[in-house]
Amino acid sequence: MSEKPLVIITGASSGIGAATSRLFSENGYPLLLLARRLEPMEALDLPNALCRAVDVCDLESFRDAITEAEERFGKAGCLVNNAGVMFCADPATQSVDEWQTMLDVNVRGLLNGIHLVLADMMARQTGTIVNIGSIAGVKTFPKHAVYCGTKFAVHAISETIRQEVSGSDVRLVTIAPGMVETDLVNASTDQAARDGWWDYANQIGGVLQPESIAQSILFAYQMPQSVCVREMVVCPTRQEP
Protein backbone atom coordinates (compact mmCIF):
# COMPACT_ATOMS: atom_id res chain seq x y z
CA MET A 1 0.00 0.00 0.00
CA SER A 2 1.13 3.49 -0.81
CA GLU A 3 0.96 6.54 1.45
CA LYS A 4 -0.83 8.55 -1.20
CA PRO A 5 -4.11 7.31 -2.64
CA LEU A 6 -4.46 5.63 -6.01
CA VAL A 7 -5.22 7.88 -8.98
CA ILE A 8 -6.92 6.31 -12.01
CA ILE A 9 -6.37 8.06 -15.34
CA THR A 10 -8.20 7.05 -18.52
CA GLY A 11 -6.83 7.94 -21.92
CA ALA A 12 -3.32 7.84 -20.46
CA SER A 13 -1.62 6.74 -23.68
CA SER A 14 -1.28 10.23 -25.16
CA GLY A 15 -1.91 13.96 -24.88
CA ILE A 16 -3.52 15.28 -21.72
CA GLY A 17 -3.77 11.83 -20.12
CA ALA A 18 -0.06 11.09 -20.56
CA ALA A 19 0.92 14.55 -19.23
CA THR A 20 -1.38 14.10 -16.24
CA SER A 21 0.10 10.67 -15.55
CA ARG A 22 3.62 12.12 -15.50
CA LEU A 23 2.67 15.03 -13.23
CA PHE A 24 0.75 12.92 -10.70
CA SER A 25 3.62 10.44 -10.68
CA GLU A 26 6.12 13.25 -9.98
CA ASN A 27 3.87 14.16 -7.05
CA GLY A 28 4.10 10.68 -5.61
CA TYR A 29 0.74 9.14 -6.48
CA PRO A 30 0.40 5.47 -7.40
CA LEU A 31 -1.41 5.19 -10.72
CA LEU A 32 -3.73 3.02 -12.73
CA LEU A 33 -3.26 4.02 -16.37
CA LEU A 34 -5.89 2.94 -18.87
CA ALA A 35 -6.24 3.21 -22.65
CA ARG A 36 -6.60 0.76 -25.52
CA ARG A 37 -2.90 1.04 -26.46
CA LEU A 38 -0.69 -0.46 -23.76
CA GLU A 39 2.76 0.25 -25.20
CA PRO A 40 2.71 4.09 -24.95
CA MET A 41 1.58 3.89 -21.31
CA GLU A 42 4.36 1.43 -20.46
CA ALA A 43 6.81 3.67 -22.34
CA LEU A 44 6.07 6.46 -19.81
CA ASP A 45 8.01 4.20 -17.45
CA LEU A 46 6.47 5.57 -14.27
CA PRO A 47 7.04 4.02 -10.82
CA ASN A 48 4.04 2.52 -9.00
CA ALA A 49 1.98 2.61 -12.18
CA LEU A 50 -0.17 -0.29 -13.30
CA CYS A 51 -0.90 -0.02 -17.02
CA ARG A 52 -3.81 -1.94 -18.53
CA ALA A 53 -5.21 -2.04 -22.05
CA VAL A 54 -8.85 -1.21 -21.42
CA ASP A 55 -11.55 0.19 -23.65
CA VAL A 56 -13.56 2.43 -21.33
CA CYS A 57 -16.74 1.25 -23.08
CA ASP A 58 -16.05 -2.28 -21.78
CA LEU A 59 -17.37 -2.10 -18.23
CA GLU A 60 -16.04 -5.51 -17.11
CA SER A 61 -12.42 -5.02 -18.14
CA PHE A 62 -12.57 -1.48 -16.69
CA ARG A 63 -13.84 -3.00 -13.41
CA ASP A 64 -11.18 -5.75 -13.40
CA ALA A 65 -8.38 -3.21 -13.82
CA ILE A 66 -9.66 -1.07 -10.93
CA THR A 67 -10.01 -4.12 -8.69
CA GLU A 68 -6.43 -5.19 -9.47
CA ALA A 69 -5.06 -1.68 -8.86
CA GLU A 70 -6.95 -1.23 -5.58
CA GLU A 71 -5.65 -4.59 -4.33
CA ARG A 72 -2.14 -3.38 -5.05
CA PHE A 73 -2.31 0.30 -4.05
CA GLY A 74 -5.39 0.73 -1.87
CA LYS A 75 -8.67 2.45 -2.66
CA ALA A 76 -8.92 5.05 -5.39
CA GLY A 77 -8.67 8.64 -4.21
CA CYS A 78 -9.24 10.07 -7.67
CA LEU A 79 -10.56 9.06 -11.05
CA VAL A 80 -9.63 11.27 -14.00
CA ASN A 81 -12.18 10.51 -16.70
CA ASN A 82 -10.10 11.81 -19.60
CA ALA A 83 -10.47 9.30 -22.48
CA GLY A 84 -12.20 10.94 -25.40
CA VAL A 85 -12.47 11.14 -29.17
CA MET A 86 -13.38 13.98 -31.51
CA PHE A 87 -14.40 13.65 -35.14
CA CYS A 88 -15.21 17.04 -36.65
CA ALA A 89 -17.25 17.10 -39.85
CA ASP A 90 -20.18 18.52 -41.74
CA PRO A 91 -23.30 17.10 -40.06
CA ALA A 92 -25.02 16.45 -43.40
CA THR A 93 -22.36 13.98 -44.47
CA GLN A 94 -20.71 12.70 -41.26
CA SER A 95 -21.05 8.96 -40.73
CA VAL A 96 -23.38 7.77 -38.01
CA ASP A 97 -20.57 5.47 -36.88
CA GLU A 98 -18.45 8.50 -35.97
CA TRP A 99 -21.39 9.93 -34.06
CA GLN A 100 -21.87 6.64 -32.23
CA THR A 101 -18.19 6.31 -31.32
CA MET A 102 -18.15 9.82 -29.82
CA LEU A 103 -21.29 9.07 -27.80
CA ASP A 104 -19.87 5.72 -26.67
CA VAL A 105 -16.42 6.88 -25.55
CA ASN A 106 -17.14 10.43 -24.38
CA VAL A 107 -20.40 9.71 -22.56
CA ARG A 108 -20.82 6.00 -21.89
CA GLY A 109 -17.12 5.45 -21.16
CA LEU A 110 -17.17 8.35 -18.68
CA LEU A 111 -20.34 7.02 -17.06
CA ASN A 112 -18.72 3.60 -16.73
CA GLY A 113 -15.88 5.18 -14.78
CA ILE A 114 -18.25 7.06 -12.50
CA HIS A 115 -20.30 3.91 -11.94
CA LEU A 116 -17.23 1.92 -10.94
CA VAL A 117 -15.95 4.28 -8.22
CA LEU A 118 -18.80 6.48 -7.02
CA ALA A 119 -20.70 4.20 -4.63
CA ASP A 120 -17.51 3.16 -2.86
CA MET A 121 -16.27 6.76 -2.57
CA MET A 122 -19.64 7.73 -1.06
CA ALA A 123 -19.45 4.85 1.41
CA ARG A 124 -15.94 5.99 2.42
CA GLN A 125 -17.10 9.64 2.52
CA THR A 126 -14.17 10.80 0.39
CA GLY A 127 -12.98 10.79 -3.19
CA THR A 128 -12.72 12.94 -6.31
CA ILE A 129 -13.89 12.37 -9.86
CA VAL A 130 -12.38 14.74 -12.42
CA ASN A 131 -14.32 14.73 -15.67
CA ILE A 132 -12.64 16.22 -18.71
CA GLY A 133 -15.23 18.29 -20.50
CA SER A 134 -14.34 20.96 -23.04
CA ILE A 135 -14.88 24.56 -24.08
CA ALA A 136 -17.07 22.65 -26.56
CA GLY A 137 -19.15 21.63 -23.54
CA VAL A 138 -19.76 25.30 -22.72
CA LYS A 139 -20.40 26.76 -26.18
CA THR A 140 -20.98 25.38 -29.66
CA PHE A 141 -18.63 25.29 -32.65
CA PRO A 142 -19.31 24.58 -36.34
CA LYS A 143 -18.54 21.00 -37.47
CA HIS A 144 -18.57 19.91 -33.82
CA ALA A 145 -22.28 19.13 -33.40
CA VAL A 146 -22.10 15.69 -31.86
CA TYR A 147 -18.76 16.30 -30.13
CA CYS A 148 -20.34 19.38 -28.51
CA GLY A 149 -23.35 17.26 -27.64
CA THR A 150 -21.16 14.74 -25.83
CA LYS A 151 -19.22 17.43 -23.97
CA PHE A 152 -22.37 19.33 -22.96
CA ALA A 153 -23.49 15.95 -21.63
CA VAL A 154 -20.27 15.59 -19.64
CA HIS A 155 -20.81 18.99 -18.02
CA ALA A 156 -24.46 18.24 -17.24
CA ILE A 157 -23.75 14.77 -15.83
CA SER A 158 -20.80 15.99 -13.78
CA GLU A 159 -22.61 18.96 -12.23
CA THR A 160 -25.79 17.01 -11.54
CA ILE A 161 -23.96 14.20 -9.76
CA ARG A 162 -21.81 16.74 -7.91
CA GLN A 163 -24.93 18.20 -6.35
CA GLU A 164 -26.32 14.79 -5.47
CA VAL A 165 -23.19 13.47 -3.73
CA SER A 166 -21.96 16.69 -2.12
CA GLY A 167 -23.27 15.58 1.26
CA SER A 168 -20.98 12.53 1.10
CA ASP A 169 -17.86 14.72 0.76
CA VAL A 170 -17.23 13.33 -2.70
CA ARG A 171 -16.12 15.94 -5.26
CA LEU A 172 -16.96 16.08 -8.93
CA VAL A 173 -14.73 18.45 -10.87
CA THR A 174 -15.20 19.39 -14.51
CA ILE A 175 -12.11 20.63 -16.33
CA ALA A 176 -12.92 22.20 -19.70
CA PRO A 177 -9.85 22.67 -21.88
CA GLY A 178 -9.72 25.01 -24.83
CA MET A 179 -7.38 24.18 -27.69
CA VAL A 180 -4.56 21.84 -26.60
CA GLU A 181 -1.81 20.50 -28.83
CA THR A 182 -2.53 16.75 -28.95
CA ASP A 183 -3.52 14.10 -31.48
CA LEU A 184 -7.23 14.65 -30.80
CA VAL A 185 -8.20 16.61 -33.91
CA ASN A 186 -6.06 14.47 -36.21
CA ALA A 187 -8.61 11.62 -36.01
CA SER A 188 -11.12 13.71 -37.97
CA THR A 189 -11.58 12.37 -41.49
CA ASP A 190 -12.72 15.83 -42.66
CA GLN A 191 -9.45 17.34 -43.85
CA ALA A 192 -10.86 20.88 -43.98
CA ALA A 193 -11.91 20.62 -40.31
CA ARG A 194 -8.46 19.32 -39.34
CA ASP A 195 -6.64 21.98 -41.35
CA GLY A 196 -8.93 24.69 -39.97
CA TRP A 197 -8.06 23.69 -36.39
CA TRP A 198 -4.30 23.75 -37.01
CA ASP A 199 -4.47 26.95 -39.13
CA TYR A 200 -6.23 28.76 -36.29
CA ALA A 201 -3.77 27.30 -33.77
CA ASN A 202 -0.88 28.71 -35.82
CA GLN A 203 -2.65 32.02 -36.36
CA ILE A 204 -2.88 32.63 -32.59
CA GLY A 205 0.75 31.68 -32.08
CA GLY A 206 0.17 28.16 -30.77
CA VAL A 207 -2.21 26.54 -28.30
CA LEU A 208 -1.90 25.02 -24.84
CA GLN A 209 0.48 22.20 -24.08
CA PRO A 210 -1.13 19.22 -22.31
CA GLU A 211 0.98 19.97 -19.22
CA SER A 212 -1.15 23.07 -18.52
CA ILE A 213 -4.27 20.93 -18.26
CA ALA A 214 -2.40 18.40 -16.12
CA GLN A 215 -1.48 21.25 -13.73
CA SER A 216 -5.13 22.33 -13.59
CA ILE A 217 -6.23 18.79 -12.71
CA LEU A 218 -3.57 18.45 -10.02
CA PHE A 219 -4.46 21.88 -8.58
CA ALA A 220 -8.14 20.96 -8.29
CA TYR A 221 -7.34 17.58 -6.77
CA GLN A 222 -4.83 18.90 -4.26
CA MET A 223 -7.21 21.47 -2.79
CA PRO A 224 -8.46 20.26 0.60
CA GLN A 225 -11.32 17.77 0.35
CA SER A 226 -13.59 20.46 1.81
CA VAL A 227 -12.95 22.63 -1.28
CA CYS A 228 -14.55 21.63 -4.59
CA VAL A 229 -13.35 23.30 -7.77
CA ARG A 230 -16.59 22.67 -9.63
CA GLU A 231 -15.53 23.78 -13.07
CA MET A 232 -12.43 25.23 -14.71
CA VAL A 233 -12.36 26.48 -18.30
CA VAL A 234 -8.70 26.61 -19.33
CA CYS A 235 -7.88 28.08 -22.75
CA PRO A 236 -5.02 29.70 -24.60
CA THR A 237 -5.22 33.43 -23.84
CA ARG A 238 -5.33 34.21 -27.55
CA GLN A 239 -8.12 31.73 -28.28
CA GLU A 240 -11.01 34.04 -29.18
CA PRO A 241 -14.10 31.75 -29.42
The residues that are catalytic are: 147
Part of the chain binding ligand NDP (CB under 6 A), chosen from 42-50, 66-74, 78-86, 122-130? 78-86
15 is a contact residue toward ligand NDP (CB under 6 A): yes
Stretch 30-49 residues interacting with ligand NDP (CB under 6 A) = 35-37
Q: Residue 234 Cβ, how far from ligand NDP at the closest point, in Å?
A: 9
Does residue 74 come out as left (phi exceeding 0), alpha (psi in the -120 to 50 range) or beta? left
Distance CA(48)–CA(1), nearest Å, equals 10
Q: How many chain residues are in contact with ligand NDP, going by CB under 6 A?
A: 30
CB of 86 or CB of 118, closer to ligand NDP: 86
179 is a contact residue toward ligand NDP (CB under 6 A): yes
183 is a contact residue toward ligand NDP (CB under 6 A): yes
55 is a contact residue toward ligand NDP (CB under 6 A): yes
Please check whether residue 44 is in contact with residue 23, taking contact to mean a CB–CB distance below 8 angstroms: no
Please check whether residue 79 is in contact with residue 69, taking contact to mean a CB–CB distance below 8 angstroms: no
177 is a contact residue toward ligand NDP (CB under 6 A): yes
Question: Pick from 25, 112, 128, 182: which binds ligand NDP (CB under 6 A)?
Answer: 182
CB of 82 or CB of 94, closer to ligand NDP: 82
Question: Pick from 6, 7, 9, 11: which binds ligand NDP (CB under 6 A)?
Answer: 11
Stretch 134-163 residues interacting with ligand NDP (CB under 6 A) = 134
Question: Pick from 86, 88, 102, 173: which binds ligand NDP (CB under 6 A)?
Answer: 86
- Alpha-carbon distances, residue 9 vs 131, 192, 241 (angstroms): 10, 32, 29
51 is a contact residue toward ligand NDP (CB under 6 A): no
Please check whether residue 153 is in contact with residue 51, taking contact to mean a CB–CB distance below 8 angstroms: no
Distance CA(105)–CA(102), nearest Å, equals 5
Question: Pick from 10, 25, 94, 112: which binds ligand NDP (CB under 6 A)?
Answer: 10
Binding site for ligand NDP (CB under 6 A): 10-17, 35-37, 55-57, 82-86, 105, 109, 132, 134, 177, 179-180, 182-184, 210
